[in-house]
A = this chain, B = another copy of it.
Amino acid sequence: MIVVMSQRATEDHINAVLKRLQKVGFEIHLSQGVERTIIGAIGDKTRMADLALEAMPEVDNVVPILQPYKLASRTFKEENTIIRVGDLEIGGNQIHVMAGPCAVESREQLFEAADAVKKAGATLLRGGAFKPRTSPYSFQGLEEKGLQYLAEARERTGLKIVTELMDASSLPMVAEYADIIQIGTRNMQNFFLLRAVANVQKPVLLKRGISATIEEWLMSAEYIMAGGNYQVILCERGIRSYESYTRNTLDLSAIPVIKHLSHLPIIVDPSHALGKWRFVSSMSKAAVAAGADGLLIEVHPNPSEALCDGPQSLTPNNFGSLMTEVQQVAGAVGRTLT
């Protein structure tokens, strides 16, 4: 951490800062320039957030130097983390596609979707039983019934199950059925929920908050890991920008950046980011070319009848073409798809 003192800082102001830093055990490096005094402080980076140095007189600026996360960082663990879900390895050489409807609507709808995505090469089935909806008047999900259908679909197809947890109170129920527990974009900083999934030994798919920085996202992963669950898969799903033609702005740069900063696997959800099925295939190929470890894709047997997110859902046919095209790109970057 670097503390930049203002030009008006006297020796007393500087000493006050030094004392405060020393009291919490930081090692000090002092640079007294002509224009400014600059204090370098090295110590337990996890304690820095609680020091309110900017509130001290004549402190101009405090610049953090080290990353505030530890367990999630590549500095802490050099080699890539591979998450095992049954016999699947997420973060390894094979790219995994998690596909299925936004919401589980009925047994028939789910089975039709599951059969189609299985056939096209997906290895996991996605589907929501609890749905976070912007409007209180929208379909909110089938809840436990939905989870049961997902389990039946797993029986039927062998696909592993990814499904969203919305509240700590439903964790035991969701954990019973899911192979991977999804934390949605609106809950990335629901710290109660993060602490709850830290206590289960199930992989967690942590979606990036709609306006979360990469650092905040890794801090949320750190919450889960600090609580004892190291099986975190990150999922980029678009961030909020001023551009409104697409629903959100898919930040594919997050892929190489996460690979640089962290050892955790990262997958991409182009369906939610784009909001229009027409653009999902291009962005899936781009995600894989950029180094993503997997994709999360919405597929619905009949998108225009979907109770949720129809406009961004692919038909089984379109999904089949997408898989063929993605396979080509996967090969070009030395990865396999199926």
Chain A residues with CB under 8 Å of chain B are 2, 4, 7, 20, 27, 29, 31, 33-36, 38, 40, 42, 46-47, 49-56, 61, 63, 65-66, 68, 75, 132-139, 166-169, 186-187, 189-193, 210-211, 213-216, 219, 222-223, 226-227, 239-246, 249-253, 255-257, 260, 273-274, 276-279, 282-283, 285-291, 303-311, 313, 325, 328-329, 331-333
Contacts and interface: CB of A to CB of B under 8 A. Distances in A.
18 contacts: A36-B42, A47-B137, A50-B139, A52-B304, A52-B306, A168-B169, A186-B189, A190-B190, A211-B242, A213-B243, A213-B244, A213-B245, A240-B240, A244-B244, A252-B286, A285-B333, A286-B289, A329-B329
A179 B335 CA distance: 39
Query: How many copies of this chain does the complex contain?
Result: 4
A213 B242 CA distance: 7
Given A27-B33, A286-B287, A20 B244 contact: no
A31 B29 CA distance: 6
Nearest to A276: B54
Given A219-B135, A253-B246, A289-B286, A211 B214 contact: no
Q: Is the interface of A mostly helix, strand, loop or mixed?
A: mixed
A263 to B, nearest CB: 15
B40 A137 contact: no
Contacts of A304: 20, 52-53, 55-56
A257 B227 CA distance: 40
A136 B246 contact: no
A333 B242 CA distance: 30
B50 A61 contact: no
Given A54-B311, A65-B36, A286-B287, A222 B189 contact: no
Contacts of A277: 55
Given A65-B36, A189-B186, A309-B52, A246 B252 contact: no
Given A135-B219, A189-B134, A223-B136, A42 B33 contact: yes
Contacts of A303: 52, 55
Contacts of A168: 167, 169
A257 B279 contact: yes
Contacts of A36: 42, 65-66
B249 A132 contact: no
A309 to B, nearest CB: 7
A7 B132 CA distance: 32
Nearest to A261: B245
Contacts of A245: 213-215, 257
A191 B283 contact: no
Contact of A311 (B55, B227, B291, B310): B55
Contacts of A273: 253
Contacts of A244: 213, 244
Contact of A290 (B135, B211, B246, B286): B286
A245 B212 CA distance: 12
Contact of A307 (B50, B61, B75, B305): B50
A319 to B, nearest CB: 14
Contacts of A219: 134-136
